Structure 1
Amino acid sequence: MGDTASMTDPRVTVLVACLCAAWCRTCDAYVETFQHLRTEFPTARFVWVDVEDHAALLDDLDVVDFPTLVIASGDRPLFAGPVLPQPAVASQLIRTALAGGLSGTASMPPSVLHGLQQLAAVDAA
């Protein structure tokens, strides 16, 4: 999935990663929602991550449900958790993150966040 913004673009302030699995039917339903979010928030950076394709990267992260959304600003994870496949839920989270309203209390190993940022950069190329 192509991205609308580059991590080196100064307008990009938020990374949004969707962690899914190819076998997950809920994730299949979430693809359209995720594409809509990319269009709605052109200054955010989006990356779709199949957890089985990137198992080594996500080994230190306890993903318990799908889809799981990770929202980060720089090296600060702001949100990491499962989301309903409803556009309004994720849209509100992203809008709040872009406005600086998420506190950044999500717990995530720095290596995982760094890996997601690298995947996002490769996805844009």
Structure 2
Amino acid sequence: MTLIELVIVVAIISLLAAIAYPNYQRYLLRGQRTAALADLALIQLEVERNYQTSYLQASEGVITQGHCNRCQSSPQQYTLSLSATEDDYTISATPIGTQRNDRCAELSYQQLSLDHAGNQQPAKCWK
């Protein structure tokens, strides 16, 4: 193999890597978002399961310091929160670190959320 052939092979490999790496990064971000969406649904199920007279009481201990023990999402990617009153609640996942670069349907988002009525925000991220 000559030096020119070697340079051509290295150039082709570099070109392929330049195309593949950004796609891989998007794939990782999308996977973390999917895990966070599943966690929001899991937390909703837990709150509804605990509900007896108020959502405030049902939400106690489900999320501790931005993390839930039964969740799949990484605490380095999302901070989970649950705000509840007697009659309603909202569960949210706020991206942190590299996850802030995630986009769904070419939409940049600040937070994923799910409320007591099943409203999912932003809607495009839940599809």
Q: Which TM-score applies when normalising by structure 1? A: 0.27
Which structure has greater helix proportion?
A: 2
Q: Which TM-score applies when normalising by structure 2? A: 0.27
- The one of the two structures with greater contact order (alpha-carbon pairs below 8 A, sep at least 6) is 1
Structure of greater Rg: 2
